[in-house]
Amino acid sequence: MKSWQLLGYLGLLPFAGFLSLSVVLKDSSVLAQQGFIAYSAIIVSFIAGTLWRKAEDNTRLTQQIISNLLSLIAFTALLMPSDLALIVLSFSFMFLFLYEKKLTMVEQINDFNVGYMRMRFWLTFIVLSLHTSAYYLWFIYVATQ
């Protein structure tokens, strides 16, 4: 496994950790939820930042604008109620994956792009699954108890 792959998958640990803590530590549940959402917003901003490229053409300008908008959306999610923040951040992750996939298809496809997009698919799938689990555990399961 290459270092960029290892780092990508290790980036899932805070999601899983905060989600686990939010269930296990009843007294600190809200703090763990805030940690999950804050980490999610940071990762959305980080991935959005990878879209940034130095160039003057319109394609790169569009990428820069989308990058900045997604970072602002992620920041705004920190100010939202947790249930809405989970939805907004989930859609942000989904959009980023689809947008990056589109960019990869336009650019020359090579072994790195194929391996990277395969990893991005699984990371996005797992992150969305964790966000869905968080929503269920925090807002649906709790309401039925």
Answer whether residue 7 is part of any domain.
no
Predicted model pTM: 0.92
Q: Is residue 22 part of a domain?
A: yes
* pLDDT at res. 21: 96
Residue 1 lies in a domain: no
- Residue predicted with more confidence, 112 or 48: 48
Is 5 domain-assigned? no
What pLDDT does 136 receive?
Answer: 97
Number of folded domains in the chain?
Answer: 1
**136 or 114, which is more confident?**
136
Q: Is the pLDDT of residue 108 over 80?
A: no
Local confidence band at 113 (pLDDT 50, 70, 90 cut-offs): confident
- On whether residue 4 sits in a domain, the answer given is no
Q: Residue 11: inside a domain, yes or no?
A: no
Residue 76 lies in a domain: yes
Which distant-in-sequence residues (6+ apart) come within 8 Å of 75 by Cβ?
41, 45
> At which residue do the structure tokens 């959306």 appear?
73
Residue 65's domain comprises 16-144
Task: Establish if 3 belongs to a structural domain.
Answer: no
